Amino acid sequence: MISQFFILSSKGDPLIYKDFRGDSGGRDVAELFYRKLMGLPGDESPVVMVTTGGGGWRHHDDRHFIHIRHSGLYLVATTSENISPFSLLELLSRLATLLGDYCGSLGEGTISRNVALVYELLDEVLDYGYVQTTSTEMLRNFIQTEPVVSKPFSLFDLSSVGLFGAETQQSKVAPSSAASRPVLSSRTDQSQKNEVFLDVVERLSVLIASNGSLLKVDVQGEIRLKSFLPSGSEIRIGLTEEFCVGKSELRGYGPGIRVDEVSFHSSVHLDEFESHRILRLQPAQGELTVMRYQLSDDLPSPLPFRLFPSVQWDRGSGRFQVYLKLRCDLPPKSQALNVRLHLPLPRGVVSLSQELSSPEQKAELGEGALRWDLPRVQGGSQLSGLFQMDVPGPPSHGPSTSAPPLGLGPASLSFELPRHTCSGLQVRFLRLTFRPCGNANPHKWVRHLSHSDAYVIRI
Amino acid sequence: MPYLGSEDLVKELKKALCNPHIQADRLRYRNVIQRVIRMSKLDQWGQAEVLNFLLRYQPRSEEELFDILNLLDSFLKSSSPSVVMGATKLFLILAKKFPHVQTDVLVRVKGPLLAACSSESRELCFAALCHVRQILHSLPGHFSSHYKKFFCSYSEPHYIKLQKVEVLCELVNDENVQQVLEELRGYCTDVSADFSQAAIFAIGGIARTYTDQCVQILTELLGLRQEHITTVVVQTFRDLVWLCPQCTEAVCQALPGCEENIQDSEGKQALIWLLGVHGERIPNAPYVLEDFVENVKSETFPAVKMELLTALLRLFLSRPAECQDMLGRLLYYCIEEEKDMAVRDRGLFYYRLLLVGIDEVKRILCSPKSDPSLGLLEDPAERPVNSWASDFNTLVPVYGRARWATISKCQGAKHHGPELPNTASFATSGTLIPEENKETIQELPDSGALMLVPNLQLTAEYFEKTWLSLKVAHQQVLPWQGAVHADTLQMALQVVNIQTIAMSRAGARPWKAYLSAQDDTGCLFLTELLLEPENSEIQITVKQNEARMETLNSFISVLETVIGTIGNIKS
């Protein structure tokens, strides 16, 4: 049960404010929350906060603020009860997804353009602070307001229009903004495409010891579905047949794709899962996490990156040299994008000179760390960078020249691997069993993506 | 009542769960519960809500209990964390007499909790980490094999890192200690000073069990010669030497040289303490202290000067030849030139003590140098699961027990009005199940925040004038029995530095008293007590010349305690 719900922009301006129970002070709560959040001492967590006695004495005015941050916005709920934090946090993130579904995407601009829609949604989702329903399907019947979508003019749109009607390359790829449109816009615009987006997204966290041995591998995977199909259509998702769950099970003869734990969305029918690894579901419009899985410790494919550092350190002159060799162990056809290496340096490093293996790379110093940006790394390639730094200050005693200085490392990498899953899980097929009346075949988009959560290499 | 599916069901549920007569009718009640449980159409919010309702039910027999647990089993496998946690709480509370069932449940919830800990949503991750810590208090080895899941990553926010470090500190065991320490050691050189200090304190915590390895790591950290690291390491050493005397030798060898890198008060105090208590094992201790004595004039923190006096006197007892001269100088400075009264008094005290004779000094100053038993006190034995089962899946673990206690105390102070605590919100408050093991968190009000000035002199005229000019800041009614013994009350108020300005004669009706008090910041509290014997209540009216809620709260809680105590003596 929540008393109030509000959305603040990243600067603290209230965008949406809704009081469900009228049992606590007015709109200044939002301001109070933001002030409290900004003035929080470093060792306290901002997730839950309490105010005691903000308003008059008459109310026992204890309010717990619980908030999540989502795409730069603060979604805050207040309650005066000792409520389950898990439910509340889940509710807030569900609200964020819902708002995203209805307004196209979640952001300061979309929220302030669609204020009426947001209030209408909140009215339906929550009644007197209790959850009514959060299912997109049920809410569809009640929501009348049309979302306002702004379409920024872009040259890319023009370029996809072929000369003399010729089909160009671009039209075979979904524009990146295709998935961020509201689910409801089809009400008036019948010509809207029926589309379904399926993403297999994996987050990889890895810890590699200084001698190169692997200390920790952890993959968190999700299959996310965003559907614009009319409800009632059934979707069948076929996963890799060698997919197996748990340590003991073994399927097929090749190297199995093994995960430790799997959980499915409650609307998924699993009757064909055991035999053919097929998930069957009738999704409501909007976004949905079909399946979550985790995998730790043994990975079927080699790790995407290996780092071979060598450090030379001359204490006498304060000269300090780091040679980094980065090897990408992806298959030659794949590539990694937006690779960034972050290496904390000893205090007091001032100047940097660099020798990089290709011109598109960039390296700079900032916040006591070295940042090395590699926009694109091809599988199987090897890149290197030589960095020389000066550490001014009194030359300290001790003749060690080879031992790495304290305060250096560990290096962390962040990257994206399009069309690659670390666990090896693939979507074999995506079939729709519905007959659209008079409409062309629905478009199906399947993406595989891995990105780094924490990829740490000790030096 | 939230939306739970069909209308009929809502009605039935409401009836069954709220009506004590139906609750007494076991069969009907059970029927409802089974129907509720079998409802597969509920969405996750409904499920979480139902699990919350079921907390109010107490099974009549063991058979029924296990029946319910079996029916509810599928909720533990739900993909929504809130349902899983709700089910876990229900299981823990229902099975409170069966510890092995509880342990079993906690093993099964391990997977979902760990998944939530590495969830993409930072906030969910934080809540899960808090619950992991809660479980670790009872089952220290529960997550030990999953220690790698709690390694921090570079991009995580500060509050999650701190929680993870705490968790790592608690799940350490013989097998993983090497890896955990290696990881924590990496955090010590983090860019954020707060985080690196938290990591060092964590290593200090682990050092109570794995002393040698930790002291070695901490000693290496001193080699970094960074101020913010050195000061925390020295503080950790101080606590460690007190709790684990076996590491004294290693600490004493590590200390020389680190005085150059300490600038803050806490660190200096720790270093000086170590030099004073264990000075006979550190060759250059007198010379380090001498530097401090030389610079005592420019020292800004009185606490450091106090520590220096005591440490030097202690060292003088073990190494008199090297210390006599500077002890004399320090005492001279403290007595003649020092402006801080506390330091001056301490100096005078030691001077007089030395005049009495060296044996007397030894008798007073040579207290034990370590107390391993204190470690056990600080680190209470494993708490039974039942002590926190009712707090599971609430805000209590998220705030932390200590903070929750202060929050609910503030609430308690305010809610103490004539009306009973609000029990209407049945969904989360009142359980019908008696909780034998529930700890009552009722502490004496913390008077540390409020310092009332003793011997406040206020004339009756001034009081009257101020009283009339101020508005009522707080009014409340407390229970009272019998007549007032004016003397007892006055004495009791005097103890807490509340002065009585005027009182009615004994037996007068209505009986009144006017009280005044002032805190150290000059904030004045004027109070009227009004007693009407037939009501058997005492009404308190407080006025304050500066509107500050915190001090008002603590003043009222002090007053409440006194009146409560006196009232109890009478009855």
Best mutation target among B93, B108, B178, B395 (most A Cβ atoms within 10 Å) is B395
The pLDDT of residue B425? 35
The pLDDT of residue A368? 76
- Residue pLDDT, tens place only, A377-388: 888 888 888 888
Interatomic CA distance for residues A225 and A286, integer angstroms = 8
- Residue pair B74/B44 in contact (Cβ under 8 Å)? The answer is no
> Buried b vs exposed e over A338-372: b needs ≥16 C-beta within 10 Å?
ebebbbbbbbebeeeebebeeeebebebeeebbeb
**Nearest residue to B204 (alpha-carbon basis) of B225, B221, B190, B191:** B221
Contact list, A46 vs chain B (CB under 8 Å): 159
The ranges of chain B with pLDDT < 70 are 1-30, 32-33, 35-41, 372-382, 410-450, 482-484, 507, 533-535, 567-571
For chain B, counts of helices (H) and of strands (E): 26, 5
Token pair for A14: 């209230």
The C-alpha of A265 sits at a distance from chain B's nearest C-alpha, in angstroms, of 6
Q: Which amino acid is at B550?
A: E
The C-alpha of A82 sits at a distance from chain B's nearest C-alpha, in angstroms, of 6
Q: How many CB atoms lie within 10 A of CB A141?
A: 8
Nearest residue of A to residue B424 by CA position? A81
The pLDDT of residue B311? 92
Decide if A368 and B154 are in contact by the 8 Å CB cutoff: no
User: Which three-class secondary structure string do you get for chain A?
Assistant: CCCEEEEECCCCCEEEEEECCCCCCCCHHHHHHHHHHHCCCCCCCCCEEEECCCCCCCCCCCEEEEEEEECCEEEEEEECCCCCHHHHHHHHHHHHHHHHHHHCCCCHHHHHHCHHHHHHHHHHHEECCEECCCCHHHHHCCCCCCCCCCCCCCHHHHHCCCHHHCCCHHHHCCCCCCCCCCHHHHHCCCCCCCEEEEEEEEEEEEEECCCCCEEEEEEEEEEEEEECCCCCCEEEEEECCCEEECCCCCCCCCCCEEECEEEECCCEECCCHHHHCEEEECCCCEEEEEEEEEEECCCCCCCCEEEEEEEEEECCCCEEEEEEEEEECCCCCCEEEEEEEEEECCCCCCCEEEEECCCCCEEEEECCEEEEEEEEEECCCEEEEEEEEECCCCCCCCCCCCCCCCCCCCEEEEEEEECCCCCCCCEEEEEEECCCCCCCCCEEEEEEEEEEEEEEECC
Helix or strand run (H / E) with residue B508: none
In this predicted model, which residue has the larger pLDDT, A83 or A317? A83
Sheet of A352-356, strand order = A305-314, A319-328, A382-390, A352-356
Q: Is B538 helix (H, G, I), strand (E, B) or coil?
A: strand
Best mutation target among A21, A48, A84 (most B Cβ atoms within 10 Å) is A84
- Residue pair A224/A287 in contact (Cβ under 8 Å)? The answer is yes
The C-alpha of A343 sits at a distance from chain B's nearest C-alpha, in angstroms, of 10
The C-alpha of A345 sits at a distance from chain B's nearest C-alpha, in angstroms, of 9
Q: Is B515 helix (H, G, I), strand (E, B) or coil?
A: strand
Q: What are the backbone angles phi and psi of residue A381, rounded to the nearest 5°?
A: -90, 170
Lowest-confidence region among A259-273, A443-457, B33-47, B151-165: B33-47
Q: How far, in Å, are B484, B500, B517, B562 from residue B497 at the CA level?
A: 20, 10, 7, 11
Contact list, A205 vs chain B (CB under 8 Å): 118, 153
Decide if B396 and A62 are in contact by the 8 Å CB cutoff: no
Sheet of A4-8, strand order = A14-19, A4-8, A73-79, A63-70, A48-51
Interatomic CA distance for residues B556 and B410, integer angstroms = 11
Interatomic CA distance for residues B322 and B325, integer angstroms = 7
Token pair for A184: 């409801």
Rounded mean pLDDT of A242-263?
72
Token pair for A139: 């809410």
Decide if A216 and B151 are in contact by the 8 Å CB cutoff: yes
User: What's the gap between Cα A183 and its chain centre?
Assistant: 21
Let me know how long chain A is. 459
- Residue pair B262/B288 in contact (Cβ under 8 Å)? The answer is no
> Which among A64, A92, A414 has the least Cβ separation from residue B395?
A64
The C-alpha of B197 sits at a distance from chain A's nearest C-alpha, in angstroms, of 11
> Which among B2, B220, B395 has the least Cβ separation from residue A131?
B2
The C-alpha of B351 sits at a distance from chain A's nearest C-alpha, in angstroms, of 43
> Which among B77, B82, B194 has the least Cβ separation from residue A87?
B82
Nearest residue of B to residue A342 by CA position? B154
**Nearest residue to B397 (alpha-carbon basis) of A304, A84, A220:** A84
Decide if B127 and A93 are in contact by the 8 Å CB cutoff: no
Residue B245: partners with Cβ closer than 8 Å, 6 or more residues away = B369, B370, B372
- Residue pLDDT, tens place only, B235-246: 999 988 888 888
Decide if B186 and A406 are in contact by the 8 Å CB cutoff: no
Name the average pLDDT for chain A: 78
Indicate if ipTM > 0.90: no
Interatomic CA distance for residues A203 and A293, integer angstroms = 11
Nearest residue of B to residue A295 by CA position? B115
Interatomic CA distance for residues B156 and B126, integer angstroms = 11
On the CB side of A37, CA atoms within 13 Å amount to: 22
The C-alpha of A360 sits at a distance from chain B's nearest C-alpha, in angstroms, of 25
pTM: 0.74
Best mutation target among B52, B154, B219 (most A Cβ atoms within 10 Å) is B154
Q: How many CB pairs under 8 A join A and B?
A: 183
Residue A337: partners with Cβ closer than 8 Å, 6 or more residues away = A375, A376, A415, A416, A417, A418
The pLDDT of residue B19? 65
Interatomic CA distance for residues B327 and A207, integer angstroms = 54
Decide if B123 and A410 are in contact by the 8 Å CB cutoff: no
Decide if A203 and B45 are in contact by the 8 Å CB cutoff: no
Q: How many CB atoms lie within 10 A of CB B247?
A: 21
Rounded mean pLDDT of A311-333?
83
